[in-house]
Structure 1
Amino acid sequence: MMIMKSLRSRRPLAVAATLSLLGVGLTACGGSDSDDTGAAGTVTIRALLAAQPATLDPIVGARSAQIVWATMLEPLIDTDDTLAPTDTGLVTSWDRTDATTWTFTVRPDISFSNGEKADAAAVANTITLTRDSEASQLKSYFGNVSEITTPDATTVVVKTTTPQYNIPDLLTTVYLVPPAYYQEKGSEGFAAAPVGTGPYVWAGGNAGRDISVKKNPDYWGPKAENEGITFTWANEAAQRLALIQSRSVDVSFDLPPAQANAAKAAGVEVVSTETAMKIIAFLDSTKAPFDDPKLREAAALAIDRNAIVDGIFDGQAAADAGLLNVRPGEQPAQSVTADPARAKELVGGAAPTVQITYPAAQYTNIEEVSQAIGGSLEQAGFKVSYVPLDYGTLVKRIIGRQVPGISIFAGVPNVAVPDYFVSGFMKTKSITGNCPDPQIDQLAQQALEQDDAAQAAPIYEQLNKIGVVDKHCYVPLYRQIFNYATGPGVSGVEFGPLNTVDFTKTTR
């Protein structure tokens, strides 16, 4: 739930799928005998996703749909190759005027593709929507913002109730929307035809089949080197492999290890990247059976992340035992190691029932991972049931506190600071709310009041220990190694470690 300087389209590429295997997009993509060729800059790139985006509204939408909407919309602040905020985006500078005041300068003379001004008022409106919209995915991150003002057309002043060092970081995942158009259309209307300031503009879509964007000739930055992108989706990995092999698509995302290996063996170009997307098992400490701390510990000790990585992914994933180590290469100071014998001892003869809920077709091999976790729990003495849901339904149920037992889904640190997971998953008023604890809330607040990330680091280590090691509310599993394949002659697909994609340089 982060970014790179040149990567305009961001985040996880798998979303909930509603398609059958047939009709996935052969027609929309042009069919296997299509020959949509031409000089560089005259072709439309055909991109195949693992699933259909749930919504293209960045205010209420999970960041899993950014690969599509971020072709048209842009974040308020860009980031550099170290994932730090930089001045190359819509907001060009910021200053911490005092402990609770941030002043931002907006790039002048930028307009949305519908002609509205992308000025300070638009920035302030977007931050306000993000803070106040009931269904906002980022609502919990902006609760400390008390006032947003615009002294002039290029200045936004954000005041917080208490000091908060990471406001610029948070704005790297807030996408600018046009105030008048968004108010007129509402969330659903906006999602049906998004308007932004990005290198592409909406070109239409066929419900359940495809979404198209075309080059924005008036884009304020470097123009795209292609005419546009048509997105289709297929939740079956075998279908994604078949379509790239038949040259029906130009790039096929999210190939599991078996399909990636098959593609390589067939001479298809495959790129593999270790990402920051982390699959996590969330245990709900507010409901049975995991309102019992002993049973949470048993579940945490029963799950063997290394066995999952080796057995399901053949090593093509990276076991990760930490929750708040959000930057590539970071490891937690303390973690939990699987101990099946101790897990069985803790469960005893109670045979408690555990529901495992997971987003079907959302992540690579997620069903196999869920079954492996369930098998480990059964060996420890739990009785297990499975509830596969589409991603959108799972998110709504989690927000509504309607998922007992274990829910499995990914955390992506869209902002390169640990608070992104603390506020998203650990605080009482977080998205998940699965581990309410006044001590966690107090430490989270204390961390944000530090001068910078370095000063906050020891507090985040303490929070990781409480959530993962002491309370066992979170069982981190692994970071995904993401595979995507490109067709003959296709170049310029820029994929970043935070599941980000820039299509502007893509040609064939």
Structure 2
Amino acid sequence: MTKHRRLGLRRGLAAASAATLMSIGLAACGDDDSSSGSNASGELRVVLNAQPATLDPIVGPRSGQIVWATVIEPLVDTDENLDPTDTGLITGWERTDDTTWTFTVRDGVTFSNGEPADAEAVVNTLELTRDTEASILKSYWTNVTSIEAPDATTVVLKTTTPQYNIPNQLGTVYLVPPEYYEKEGPEGFAAAPVGTGPYLFDGQRAGRDMTVVVNDDYWGEAPTNEKITFSWSTEAAQRLALLQSGSADVAFDLPPTQQDEAESAGLEVVTAESAIKIVAFLQTDKAPFDDPKMAEAAALAVDRDQIVDGIFDGKAVADGGLLNMKPGETPAEQVDADPEAAKALVGNAKVEVPISYPAGQYTNIEEVAQAMGGMLEEAGFKVSYNAVDYGTLVTQVVGRELNGIYLLAGVPNVAVPDFFASGFMKTVSISGNCPDPKIDAMVAEALEQPDAEASAPIYEELNTIGVVEKHCYIPLYRQLYAYATTDDVEGIDYSPLNAVDFTDATIG
């Protein structure tokens, strides 16, 4: 059977859940043998930077999928070029007319609780994604008018207007069992998720860790390890210490300082340019940035190259575009720093700017916020800081409670520009910080093109309007994501979309 999960690039929208992330001190330290000392054969012990907000893929931000995607699978797999493939739960598709897509569902797959993972299950998951009020992907599916299953292996989806990227979007929709999800609801499902994946959820110790074990009845190729235990610590130094002490096998999300320390300690360090992009969002429908002159001044004040060089020691990639999705892609136009021009625009105005950011959520994010604040103060702004947990910040963003600037990571769950255009640029979107009927119309126009190539010029123009003309967004950098392992760990597969495939991982 084809190994379908290699480079399963399906993770990470970093913006939307009301749940509050929790962190603890020595997250991996417990009373059993799995949390300290040498590792038992077949168990992979992974330390994350934060506990997932939820394990429910319908309502949860994609930052949690590093855990849940071991158990719950997306409808469509993607290849090393980030394009959809036929190797997953959906094995084929045809655009039968401009507004109709027909999908073929893999035959004979069941959820681990015995429910059939058939076309009806796909329809149910898509309807939950479109219709659930708290759905994280709700805004991406408003164009879908009907979803039907004429038989057990066929799904027919119709849209109001043409939409070329439906197969891409299915790469971030995770299939849930209809009866179990209805019975348990989001909270019950998150406490004990059920899926079709290569692992089974084996339980959790509240605030400490979560464990998955091999699914012996998995429809695809079996994992090479037997068990994964996920723990977490918001302190990078502590994640590294757990690895050095033998209490963990893998430590994710290491900043430059800890990367250097890990290499000095003889640990294996892996870095990869991520599609994750840290962006400063300006709330342009509220003071002070409802004044276009002040928004332009803020954009001109921020020097992204200085942030990359000074904070990340070059271990990040400055990126001034919003809708260039894949590593290596660059925007046609961007805003470059001009501190003197920024000062001239601010003049003698007494403009207060709060900077909100998710404490501990992203590598060195506090230093980034402080650096931005210093640059804004040099331009004449008066800056305050609002450091909150990630869940609270997202609640404030979605509730339109913020003004000024907030920092969030844009994580393209699928590598098409609409994921950011619909997610961040439309008036009705996750951020909604740049309301403009012209932008709304252009986002719709881009989707109506026959394919990605035809839509590309529209997305370039959208990037220019949002970033260069209206200054709603100050793109900063792509992260060079880094993790470290002990020297006896092999086979972890990290992809540019913050996807991690553990099924080939071996220990010892």
Distance 2:31 2:500 in 1: 21
Deviations 1:10-45 (A, max 9, x none): 534999752232x3221278477533333xxxx211
Q: Deviations over 1:322-358 (max 9, x none)?
A: 0000012110000000001111111111121111110
Mapped pair 1:205 → 2:209: no
- Could you say which residue in structure 1 is the equivalent of 2:341? 342
* SS of aligned partner of 1:61: coil
Alignment-derived partner of residue 402 in structure 2: 403
Contact 2:280–2:476 (CA under 8 A) maintained in structure 1: yes
Query: What's 1:35 paired with?
Result: 38
Instruction: Give the conservation status (yes or no) of the 8 Å contact 1:285–1:434.
Output: yes
Provide closer, same or farther for how the CA distance between residues 257 and 192 of structure 1 changes in structure 2, counting only shifts above 3 A. same
Paired residue secondary structure (1:93): strand
Which residue in 1 is equivalent to 2:435?
A: 436
CA distance in 1, matches of 2:35, 2:148: 54
Aligned counterparts of 2:14 and 2:125: Cα–Cα separation in 1: 25
Equivalent-residue separation in structure 2 for 1:459 and 1:9 (angstroms): 25
Aligned equivalents of 2:252, 2:203: Cα separation in 1: 21
State how far apart, in whole Å, the 2-side matches of 1:469 and 1:87 are.
38
How far did residue 246 of structure 1 move? 1.0
Q: Please say if residues 9 and 496 of structure 2, whose CA atoms lie closer than 8 Å, have aligned partners that are also in contact.
A: no
Does 1:20 find its partner at 2:57?
no
The answer (yes or no) to whether the contact 1:9–1:66 under 8 Å persists in 2 is: no
Give the whole-Å Cα distance in 1 for the aligned partners of 2:33 and 2:12: 25
Distance in 2 of aligned mates of 1:272 and 1:439: 40
Tell whether the 8 Å contact from 1:29 to 1:230 is kept in structure 2 after alignment.
no
For residues 446 and 28 of structure 2, what CA distance do their matches in structure 1 show? 47
Change (3 A) 1:457 1:8: closer
User: Counterpart of 2:346 in structure 1: which amino acid?
Assistant: V
Structure 2 CA distance for partners of 1:14 and 1:153, relative to 1, 3 Å: closer
In structure 2, what is the Cα distance between the partners aligned to 1:32 and 1:191? 24
1:252 aligned partner: 251
Q: Where do 1:43-122 residues align within 5 Å?
A: 43-122=42-121
Q: Does the residue aligned with 1:307 lie in a helix, a strand or coil?
A: helix
Deviation at 1:208, TM superposition (A): 0.5
The 1:424/1:13 distance shift into structure 2, 3 A limit, reads closer
Give 1:72's aligned amino acid: V
Deviation (angstroms), 1:9: 7.9
1:315-464 matches, within 5 Å, as 315-464=314-463
TM-score w.r.t. length of structure 2: 0.96
Residues 8 and 495 of structure 2 are in contact (CA less than 8 Å); yes or no, is this contact kept in structure 1? no
Q: Which residue identity does 1:118 align to in structure 2?
A: A
Measure, in 2, the Cα distance between the counterparts of 1:282 and 1:314: 24
C-alpha distance in 2, partners of 1:13/1:365? 19
Change (3 A) 1:325 1:83: same
Q: 1: CA distance between counterparts of 2:135 and 2:14? A: 20
TM-score relative to the length of structure 1:
0.96
Return the offset for 1:214: 0.5
Secondary structure in structure 2 of the residue aligned to 1:11: coil
Change (3 A) 1:356 1:390: same
Q: C-alpha distance in 2, partners of 1:345/1:504?
A: 56
Give ranges in structure 2 of 5+ residues lacking alignment. Answer: none
1:308 equivalent in alignment to 2:311: no
Deviation per residue, 1:403-435 (Å, 9 max, x gap): 211110100111111000000000010110000
**Match of residue 189 from structure 1:** 188
Give, as a single letter, the amino acid of the residue that structure 1 aligns with 2:360: A
Equivalent residues, number: 500
Q: Aligned-pair RMSD on alpha carbons?
A: 1.5
Partner of 1:151, secondary structure, is strand
Sort the Cα spacing of 1:395 and 1:30 in 2 relative to 1 into closer, same or farther, 3 A: farther
**1:295, 1:140 → 2: CA distance?**
30
User: Is contact 1:495-1:501 (8 Å) kept?
Assistant: yes
Query: 2:146 maps to what in 1?
Result: 147
CA, structure 1 residues 214+14, in 2 after alignment: closer, same or farther (shift >3 Å)? Answer: farther
CA distance in 1, matches of 2:10, 2:248: 20
Contact 1:354 1:385 (C-alpha < 8 Å) held by counterparts: yes
Matched-pair contact (CA < 8 Å) for 1:112–1:195: yes
Cα pair 1:324 1:332 within 8 Å, conserved: yes
* Equivalent-residue separation in structure 2 for 1:262 and 1:372 (angstroms): 24
Moved more, 24-33 or 197-206: 24-33
> Match of 1:26, SS?
coil
- CA distance, structure 2, for counterparts of residue 166 and residue 147 of structure 1: 16
1:477-488 → structure 2 map (5 Å cutoff): 477-488=476-487
Letter in 1 for 2:170: L
Aligned to 1:158: 157
Q: Kindly indicate whether the alpha-carbon contact (under 8 Å) linking 2:300 and 2:342 is maintained by their aligned counterparts in 1.
A: yes
